[in-house]
Amino acid sequence: MSNIYESAEATLGFISSPCLTKVELRVACRGISDRDALSKPDPCVVLKMQSHGQWFEVDRTEVIRSSSSPVFSKVFLVDYYFEEVQRLRYELHDISSGNNGLRDADFLGAMECTLGQIVSQRKLTKALLKQGNTAGKSSITVTAEELSGNDDYVELSFSARKLDDKCTVWDWDSNGKHDFIGEFQTTFKEMRAEQEGKQIQWECINPKYQMKKKNYRNSGVVILNHCKIIRMYSFLEYIMGGCQIQFTVAIDFTASNGDPRNSCSLHYIHPYQPNEYLKALVAVGEICQDYDSDKMFPAFGFGALIPPDFKVSHDFAVNFDEDNPECAGIQGVVEAYQNCLPKIQLYGPTNIAPIIQKVASSASEEMHTKEAMEYFILLILTDGVITDMADTREAIVHASHLPMSVIIVGVGNADFTDMQILDGDDGILRSPKGEPVLRDIVQFVPFKDFKHASPAALAKSVLAEVPNQVVDYYNAKGIKPKCMSDYESTRAFSP
């Protein structure tokens, strides 16, 4: 059991890609005890990041002399990737006087975590572990803050009067031959004066008329009706404000997967090598779990005959507890999946609309709170083309109005061409009645495209769009991040 989980986890590699944003990490320690009981330590913290299973130093703090509870002024600046597991290690060393190197330093303890864990909590405090992973009385606190430019935008509305026989600055003609009327120049600072109640207007000047006509004044006046700054919040502002990612898994148990007892089955449980379902589940789940404080994940199955009456179900709890389908951690989902295989009979058809509707029901309750509290991600793992396409399109169109994203991973070698319709990248998905999705919430990826890559590459592909989907939903609804008051002023707009 654990071998399969650890094997899948170990294959998660570090992939470089354009980062979502940069994060500042500040460090403080408490209760440091020196090996020399007669003096206080001279602490220094070294930050390391894991890449391809090895730790590499990113940066280190200054040395603070004679301090058992140092607050370091050095700020670590790291690139943040939502779609990757970024493993960090903080090492605390006692630097001997007159020496700033680590060769002769005493190791005082270390703490390992992921960047996702830090940003989801904004302030993470953990014990420093010494050799042999024994916890002492000392602890380390890491505080995160997003470093970003200003993503706000400006909404402008203009009107005009006495234009040269026209109604706009350019006279629009249906034949494409538009007539130039005039121009003017201004600055944003000048336009912002409208917010103070001042009427702002400019003379519209045509340079040709100005040169030819001695008594030329202008070709009309353009008036600024309003200048409104629209505040745009970032993904990390919602996460750091307390928004939780609710991660749900749905697994295909249709007969086309093959008998799980047969080594050719897509559900075959090898003692050392995880199957494609487990690889995809762990790769995506390992990332999403950092953004859920209770680490409890609902897991459902579809397309199987289930006990005790062995009727077909398309949304049964993998742990067979319909009242509480949640599993403890990604490890718990893996265990529930493996435990249920001998108890069910693979059947069909491949219907996924019921599971989308089930998660959408929970997301609908969140929508009514009008707060950025929970955003839902549904991971569907399936081996074949779905058989309820019309109902699925209807369910996705409905879900596009909710705080929800759907990730579909196609397992095996089936032809998934028809599944690309749901993705929406090649055109707007519509319900059978013609209603378009409000926003693109579906990402489909065939696992076979990543067969020779690490599961981390799969996770990167399917999760890359999630931050924008979260931001698009909450900003469109005009919903601010929670707990903004303590750092709202840090991003106050300045011209």
| Pairing verdict, β 200-203 and 304-306 | unpaired
3-state secondary structure 361-384: HHHHHHHCCCCCCEEEEEEEEECC
pLDDT at residue 151, rounded to an integer: 65
> 278 versus 174: which is more confidently predicted?
278
pLDDT at residue 440, rounded to an integer: 92
Q: How would DSSP label each residue in 44-83? A: EEEEEEEETTEEEEEEE----SS-SS-EEEEEEEEEE-TT
CA separation for the pair 165, 85 (Å, rounded): 62
Looking from the CA of 45 toward its CB, the CA atoms found within 13 Å total 30
Examine the pLDDT at 491 and tell me if it is beyond 60.
no
Q: Rg of the chain over CA atoms, in angstroms?
A: 29
Q: How far apart are the first and last CA of the chain?
A: 57
Q: Which helix (H) or strand (E) covers residue 212, if one does?
A: helix 207-212
E-state strands within 162-289 = 170-171, 179-180, 200-203, 221-230, 244-252
What pLDDT band is residue 170 in, cutting at 50, 70 and 90? Answer: low
Examine the pLDDT at 464 and tell me if it is beyond 50.
yes
Exposed / middle / buried, residue 472 (Cβ in 10 Å: 0-12, 13-18, 19+) = middle
Q: How many Cβ atoms are within 10 Å of 106's Cβ, its own excluded?
A: 16
Examine the pLDDT at 26 and tell me if it is beyond 60.
yes
pLDDT at residue 4, rounded to an integer: 45
